[in-house]
């Protein structure tokens, strides 16, 4: 008998993720079905990871994306995703499509290329959610919160909130930009997040969207859906689901929300 080696014989997915975060890979590996492997390229550039040209007719990718694409092109991948909510939110309307076109030209023909913005939009529409409570990590500053609301409004949604997670007394007095540098990404707990979302979700919200691929949350998606009786979508969950379905993997994954049953 052979042991599981996590070989991606059904699909191999390449992720561009923040250079100093551990959450994206951990959550993807927790959710990924048998036969699907996950491969990360790390990015240290500021968001968005591809810059609009002056005429806004296209984007110029940061060096980390170019280097990652060269590596991914040799790996026979099924899909590549910019797993970074902030890039989509700050890039704004049209950025996702421009960046996908740019990266697709650098990768093997036939590789599905996407962004976290496109993935969350697809997940919201598949779940028939139009008015999600937008939940954001505490390291998102006010400008990024405003960009998040505008991004989803510009794409046909009517987000409620936003709710920015309160990480507790230890962290409350630090500015958003200091939280990850001080290690919150490794100390954040999911139980307080569950409690805050459950208490804050307004009746007019027809679902919940938890943005931020470095925001630990997939462990509570199922419990929130059961208690709120509404779809609950997270950044990493949406990207994995979109990549699986777009590459022909139809696995119904248990324990991480109803999205994986669609």
Q: What is the CATH number of the domain that holds 62?
A: 3.40.50.12500
Residue 260 lies in a domain: no
Residue 188 lies in a domain: yes
Residue 62, pLDDT score: 97
- Quick one: average pLDDT of 52-67? 96
Query: What is the tally of structural domains in the chain?
Result: 2
Q: Are residues 105 and 28 in the same domain?
A: yes
Q: Are residues 154 and 194 in the same domain?
A: yes
Residue 143, pLDDT score: 97
Of the candidates 108, 98, 160, the residue with the CA atom closest to the CA atom of residue 82:
98
> Which two structure tokens, joined as six digits, stand for 156?
């046909």
Decide if pLDDT at 51 tops 80: yes
Residue 237, pLDDT score: 98
Q: Are residues 104 and 137 in the same domain?
A: no
**Predicted TM-score of the model (pTM):** 0.97
Q: Are residues 88 and 196 in the same domain?
A: no
Residue 50 lies in a domain: yes
Residue 16, pLDDT score: 98
Residue 6 lies in a domain: no
Residue 200 lies in a domain: yes
Q: Are residues 56 and 95 in the same domain?
A: yes
Handedness of CA 91, 93, 99, 100 (dihedral sign): positive
Q: Are residues 166 and 222 in the same domain?
A: yes
Decide if pLDDT at 1 tops 80: no
Percent of the chain with pLDDT over 70: 100
Q: How many CA atoms, within 13 angstroms, populate the side-chain half-sphere of residue 20?
A: 11
Residue 262 lies in a domain: no
Decide if pLDDT at 182 tops 90: yes
Decide if pLDDT at 207 tops 90: yes
Q: Are residues 208 and 222 in the same domain?
A: yes
Q: Are residues 67 and 153 in the same domain?
A: no
Give the Cα separation of 177 and 88 in Å (integer). 19
Report the chain's mean pLDDT, rounded to a whole number: 97
Contacts of 133 (CB under 8 A, 6+ apart): 159, 160, 161, 162, 163, 197, 200, 201, 202, 205, 207, 208, 209
> Which two structure tokens, joined as six digits, stand for 225?
């859906």
Residue 156 lies in a domain: yes
Residue 76, pLDDT score: 97
Q: Are residues 81 and 157 in the same domain?
A: no
**What confidence tens digit (pLDDT) does each residue in 61-106 have?**
999 999 999 999 999 999 999 999 999 999 999 999 999 999 999 9
Supply the range of the domain harboring residue 100: 11-116+246-253
**What confidence tens digit (pLDDT) does each residue in 148-169 have?**
999 999 999 999 999 999 999 9
**What confidence tens digit (pLDDT) does each residue in 216-250 have?**
999 999 999 999 999 999 999 999 999 999 999 99
Pairing of strands 50-52, 59-61: antiparallel
Q: Are residues 18 and 37 in the same domain?
A: yes
Q: Are residues 209 and 112 in the same domain?
A: no
pLDDT band at 2 (very low <50, low <70, confident <90, very high): confident
Q: Are residues 110 and 149 in the same domain?
A: no
């Amino acid at each position: 008998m052979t042991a599981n080696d996590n070989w991606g014989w059904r699909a191999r997915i390449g992720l561009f993720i923040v250079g100093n975060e551990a959450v994206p890979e951990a959550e993807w590996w927790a959710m990924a079905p048998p036969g699907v492997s996950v491969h990360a390229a790390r990015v240290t550039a500021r968001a968005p990871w591809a810059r609009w040209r002056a005429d806004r007719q296209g984007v110029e990718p940061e060096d980390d994306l170019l280097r990652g694409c060269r590596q991914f092109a040799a790996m026979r991948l099924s899909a590549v995703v910019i797993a970074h909510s902030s890039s989509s939110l700050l890039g704004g309307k049209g950025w996702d499509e421009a960046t996908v076109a740019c990266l697709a030209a650098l990768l093997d023909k036939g590789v599905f290329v996407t962004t976290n913005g496109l993935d969350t939009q697809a997940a919201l529409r598949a779940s028939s959610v139009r008015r999600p409570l937008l939940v954001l990590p505490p390291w998102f500053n006010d400008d990024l919160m405003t960009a998040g609301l505008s991004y989803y409004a510009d794409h046909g949604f009517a987000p409620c909130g936003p709710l920015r997670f309160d990480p507790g007394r230890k962290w409350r007095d630090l500015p958003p930009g200091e939280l990850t540098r001080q290690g919150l990404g490794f100390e954040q707990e999911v139980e307080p997040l569950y409690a805050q979302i459950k208490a804050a979700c307004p009746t007019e919200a027809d679902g919940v969207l938890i943005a931020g691929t470095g925001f630990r949350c997939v462990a509570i998606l199922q419990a929130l859906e059961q208690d709120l009786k509404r779809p609950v979508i997270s950044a990493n969950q949406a990207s994995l689901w979109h990549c699986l379905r777009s590459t022909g993997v139809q696995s119904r994954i248990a324990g991480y929300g109803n999205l994986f049953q669609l």
